Amino acid sequence: KSQKSAKKSESRHDGGNLKKEEKRNNEIIDHNEINLAEIKEYSQSKMAVQEITDKKEVKSETKRYIKHGNRKIINTLLSSMSLKERSELLGANFLLPPLPTTPSIFDYASYIKHLDYYSMVVSIEEWLNETYCLNLETKKSETDYSGFEAKEENRNISESNNVKEKMPISELVYTTMRALFTMFKDHGARLTSLSVMTYSDGSKYDQDFYRLLSKSRFLPLVSSIRSLEVNTDYCSFSFIMNLARICTGLEFIHAQKEETVGKKTLPIS
């Protein structure tokens, strides 16, 4: 009898727990439905993401765009800048996206963890190309931004804001990148991995832009890097050594030379 009584009591206890758990889950679902409605509305207008099921997915999309290169994330980041953060670019007469009428739901700049330098340059170029109708196509044999030609097409751009006539392409990219790095730092972003490679057509990027990352002002942004991927024929030895000193938690350096196939991983002792 005592055993039957104990089983009944246990059954009632479990049943009560299940009901409580079901009620709690329903509350969570209802709460999430409200949040997801806001997330979907914002994401569709700002990032053109078709399906968003969680805030983590938005973070994932942000990281993916930065890693693979996409002008949309550059436009989104620039549009989420405050007036103070825009000051450097506005001072150079950049044509920036309008400020949003409502505050951003997501702090995109703080999500950056993995930075691919090459892809970021390409993304900025794509954004500049769309904004200023620049012809950024160049022959593979050309090795410098000076080979690019800027042309104005059917775009209503005022003379006062026509920065392409006041700055070379390399300076436009450099200024944009510096403003974005400053934004990342100020929003508390902490990189965990960095890739500075040239890939197959990267010779035109030999402008030492990557040295921005070793400047003291960006120390909070890069000091947390644990994985560094570099092309040793492209990056200077001093840059690699500076990052090694700054990144006290560095665990691996992935080094690659142009004449070698594949990557060699060097563990840090």
227 in Cβ contact with 202 (< 8 Å): no
* Statement to judge: residues 64 and 14 lie in one domain: no
- Residue 141: pLDDT over 90: no
Asked if the structure places residue 167 within a domain, the reply is yes
Q: Are residues 82 and 192 in the same domain?
A: yes
Residues 66 and 198 in one domain: yes
Residue 5: domain span = 1-46
- State the pTM of this model: 0.61
Considering its fold, how many domains does the chain have in total? Answer: 2
**Are 83 and 69 contacting, i.e. CB atoms less than 8 angstroms apart?**
no
Let me know whether 91 and 173 are in one domain. yes
Are 222 and 246 a contacting pair, CB within 8 Å?
yes
Task: Give the three-class secondary structure for 233.
Answer: coil
Do 38 and 120 belong to one domain?
no
- Is the residue at 208 inside a domain? yes
120 shares its domain with 5: no
In a domain, 51, yes or no: no
User: Which residues, at least 6 apart from 31, have a Cβ–Cβ distance to it below 8 Å?
Assistant: none
Q: Kindly give, in sequence order, each residue whose CB lies less than 8 Å from that of residue 109, ignoring residues fewer than 6 positions away.
A: 77, 80, 183, 184, 186, 187, 189
Type and span of the H or E element at 254: strand 252-256
Amino acid at 262: G
For residue range 80-115, list pLDDT tens digits in order.
898 899 998 988 888 888 888 887 788 889 989 999
Cα–Cα distance between 238 and 243 in angstroms, integer? 9
- Regarding whether 140 and 235 lie in a shared domain, the answer is yes
36 plus 117 within the same structural domain: no
Asked if 189 and 221 count as a contact pair (C-beta separation under 8 A), the reply is yes
One-letter identity of residue 29: I
Q: End-to-end distance of the chain based on CA atoms, in angstroms? A: 66
Q: Is the pLDDT of residue 191 over 90?
A: yes
Assess if residue 151 is contained within a domain.
yes
Q: Are residues 124 and 32 in the same domain?
A: no
Are 36 and 70 within one domain?
Answer: no
Does one domain contain both 163 and 242? yes
* Residues 16 and 123 both lie in one domain: no
Q: Is 183 helix (H, G, I), strand (E, B) or coil?
A: helix
Please write the tens of the pLDDT for every residue from 43-89. Answer: 444 444 333 434 445 444 444 444 455 788 898 899 989 889 999 89
